[in-house]
Amino acid sequence: MRNLLAVISISLLLSCQSVPGPRHLKQGDSVSLNKVITFPESSSHIILQAGKVIKGKDLMAYQTNCVVDNFELGPKDIKPQNYQVRNVTYNEEMYFDAAAIIRYYSEFYLSSHGGRQQDLIITCQTLDDTMQHHSFPVDEIALATGDYFSF
């Protein structure tokens, strides 16, 4: 009887273990740029959605997209290189009061390694009207950025 009680107790404790949640980018993580990114004339950013570079007019605001910013206006190419996450911020702002639509966005500040110093900011964002915070796990960022980045 004592052994049965011990087995039941252990089984209950093991069943209460939390399942690990999705992985999120954090300070110190590595990020690799795998393909050349071309910034157009007079622009310091591009938009990635569903693995493709898109124009602002083609943006589907209720699907995750990631804006990649560099610190200089184009035209400019950034070649594949490795980065380290320097800082992460999680943000939200009211996008449209009447319909309670919120813009959720996370900013990932990346520092490049090596001699080709080219820091980037990746801002992943979406609109949502469910009032549930959105924090952009790595798998969701990977869907938006496609094979441009690996995490």
Name the residue range of residue 20's domain.
2-150
Residue whose C-alpha is closest to residue 142's, from 66, 84, 79: 66
What whole-number distance in Å separates Cα of residue 73 and Cα of residue 70?
8
pLDDT score at 85: 97
The 3-state DSSP class for residue 113 equals coil
Domain count, the chain: 1
Rounded to two decimals, the pTM is: 0.83
Instruction: Give residue 36's identity as a one-letter amino acid code.
Output: V
DSSP assignments along 29-54, one per residue: -EEEE-S-EEEPBT-SEEEEETTEEE
In tens digits, what is the pLDDT along the chain, a chain of 151 residues?
Answer: 666 555 555 555 555 555 567 899 999 999 999 999 999 999 999 999 999 999 999 999 999 999 999 989 999 999 999 999 999 999 999 998 778 899 999 999 999 976 566 899 999 999 998 878 888 999 999 999 999 999 9
pLDDT score at 22: 87
Q: Return the half-sphere exposure (C-beta side, CA atoms, 13 A cut-off) of residue 35.
A: 12
Contacts 24+ apart (CB under 8 A), 92-97: 92/133, 92/134, 95/127
